[in-house]
Amino acid sequence: MRSSRFMPAAVLGLASVMLATTGGIATAQSGGWDAFEAGLKDKYAGKTLRLITINDPFVPAMIETNKLFTELTGAEVVVDGYGYDAVYEKEQLACQQQSNAYDVIVLDVPWTQAFDGCTEYLNARVEAGDPEVIAYDDYFKVMQEAVEWGGNIVGLPFAPYFVLQHYNTSYFDTLGLKPATNFAEWVANAEAANKSEALPDVYGTITNNQAGSAVGQAFFEFIYNVEGGKPFASMYPGCAPDCYADMTPLFSSPQGIATVELMKSILPFQPEGALNYAWTERQNYFNTGLIAFNNQWNVTTPSADDPEFSTIVGNVGTAPFPHDSADLVTQVGGWSMAINKFAVDPEMSWDYLQWFTSPQVNVEFAKLGGFPARESTLANEELNAQYPWYTTLKEVIPTAFADCRPRNNESFNIINTLGTYISKAVSGEMTTEEAMKAADLEIGTMLKEAGYNVTLP
């Protein structure tokens, strides 16, 4: 599955890249960039850099962008992509085996601590690097927080994701609907759009309901946007630097119960078999006009307006996630690049990280269907014309919370375990209260055994 509009590599000569002025970033290529680029010329001729990544829609854009690195340095870049669960497991196995099979490891935000020790800390390299090339303060602030653990920089951001409402503007106009600002409006929109008289073949929406990590991840989109909601006692926006001080689970709190009941309440307005659906199905149903709206990572947004992958081109609108809380909390995820601690050539890996995540190349990556990781990229006029949904990104990025999903070693198991119990609740196998109490006990026990401060029920 791809979401990029390809441009010939020949037209992407980085010598002509112009940057928007944002927070002190140069308006044109700096001398520092020119020197850096000149120093890379044919530097790695005949060498191969291997990268492991999630097989998400940005991968074609990454591969096209990598061709420029090969043209510049002479190094071939081999990209191995896998599904979400599979790539985590393969990367963890490589870490445990101290394997040098990959030079660069692509990490999701919740995996930050899990790879702290498998990857080279980048603090010294960032500090020693040319600030006109590194431009560290130009990264979105939430992504600077997301890639650091215990004061150590684990990776460099290149493709952050944010959860947005996506809606079919034609359907909403036909039905007289507006994007939801709160959850009551969200459910009402789904009911109004579902198999309506005006659009009898259209369902209201589709959510991540598949057992395990899919529905577990969805819970974290909602919980902070329920007034007073939080998943753990010490985890909420503004909790830094002690977000992990008290990891007592609160899944069976009134807000946790309300979150799962909300997720259940939307099921009647989804296609048949919805309990088996996850990220790919959400995107496909939206892109083919079978649903009126959904809440989805912006990784899918370019494909919805691409005629190669969508039948609703020109009818795609975006809006912030609905919320009942006083302040919106937008879930952040997405991907950063880290240097494998056991890489054969860490210097080549570092040059690649600097180059790919630079302000100059981030713009080109975004043009090809990738994603902005920097304030300067988000402000780029050409990109704003190409992607009108950047307007929504500008609105929600300041509301994103780096620890919206926990970023500790146990994060993957937390989300997967929680998702298993939520699935039992939404399918009717257990009551919501029974399922969430069981989730509290199992996850709390796991965290207590890992050494966290936890009060068990």
- The secondary element (H helix, E strand) that includes residue 48 is strand 48-54
| Residues 140 and 157: beta-carbon distance below 8 Å | yes
Q: Both 201 and 211 in a single domain? A: yes
Q: How many helices (H) and strands (E) does the chain have?
A: 19, 10
How far is residue 175's CA from residue 162's CA, in Å, rounded to a whole number? Answer: 27
Backbone angles phi, psi at 160, to 5 degrees: -75, 150
Average pLDDT of every residue of the chain: 92
Last residue of a domain, one of 391, 413, 441: 391
Question: Which pTM was predicted?
Answer: 0.89
Q: Both 21 and 168 in a single domain? A: no
Closest CA to 161 of 397, 412, 327, 416: 397
Q: At what angle do helices 432-449 and 254-265 cross, to 10 degrees?
A: 130
How far is residue 350's CA from residue 121's CA, in Å, rounded to a whole number? Answer: 11
pLDDT in tens, 145-156: 999 999 999 999
How far is residue 37's CA from residue 134's CA, in Å, rounded to a whole number? Answer: 13
Q: Classify residue 81: in a domain, yes or no.
A: yes
Direct distance between the N- and C-terminal alpha carbons of the chain, in angstroms, rounded to an integer: 44
Q: Which two tokens stand for residue 170?
A: 């034609």
Alpha helices in 226-317, H assignment, sequence order? 254-265, 279-287, 301-304
Percentage with pLDDT > 70 across the chain: 93
pLDDT of residue 9: 29
pLDDT of residue 220: 97
CA atoms within 13 A on the CB side of 220: 32
Q: Both 177 and 223 in a single domain? A: yes
Q: Classify residue 2: in a domain, yes or no.
A: no
pLDDT of residue 279: 86
C-beta atoms surrounding 128 within 10 Å: 8
Q: Both 227 and 237 in a single domain? A: yes
pLDDT of residue 292: 98
| Residues 101 and 72: beta-carbon distance below 8 Å | no
Q: Both 203 and 82 in a single domain? A: no
Q: Determine the 3-state secondary structure of 330 from DSSP.
A: strand
Please list the ranges in the chain whose pLDDT falls under 50.
1-29
E-strand ranges in 147-200 read 148-149, 152-153, 156-168
pLDDT of residue 405: 95
How far is residue 327's CA from residue 237's CA, in Å, rounded to a whole number? Answer: 10
pLDDT of residue 293: 98
Q: Both 129 and 259 in a single domain? A: no
Q: Both 345 and 365 in a single domain? A: yes
Secondary structure in 3-state letters for 356-423? HHCHHHHHHHHHCCCCCCEHHHHCCHHHHHHCCCHHHHHHHHHHEECCCCCCCCCHHHHHHHHHHHHH
Bridge pairing between strands 76-82 and 48-54: parallel
Q: Classify residue 1: in a domain, yes or no.
A: no
pLDDT of residue 116: 86
Domain CATH code at residue 225: 3.40.190.10
Q: Both 49 and 74 in a single domain? A: yes
Q: Both 210 and 249 in a single domain? A: yes
Q: Both 324 and 177 in a single domain? A: yes
The single-letter code of the amino acid at 233 is: A
| Residues 18 and 25: beta-carbon distance below 8 Å | no
Q: How many domains is the chain partitioned into structurally?
A: 2
Q: Classify residue 322: in a domain, yes or no.
A: yes
The single-letter code of the amino acid at 152 is: N
Q: Both 177 and 258 in a single domain? A: yes
Q: Classify residue 457: in a domain, yes or no.
A: no
Q: Classify residue 300: in a domain, yes or no.
A: yes
Percentage with pLDDT > 90 across the chain: 89
Q: Classify residue 288: in a domain, yes or no.
A: yes
User: Partners of 166 in the beta sheet?
Assistant: 294, 318
How far is residue 265's CA from residue 408's CA, in Å, rounded to a whole number? Answer: 31
Q: Which domain holds residue 241?
A: 162-331+404-449
| Residues 348 and 49: beta-carbon distance below 8 Å | yes
DSSP 267: G
Q: Classify residue 341: in a domain, yes or no.
A: yes
Q: Both 322 and 442 in a single domain? A: yes
Q: Which two tokens stand for residue 370?
A: 């990738």
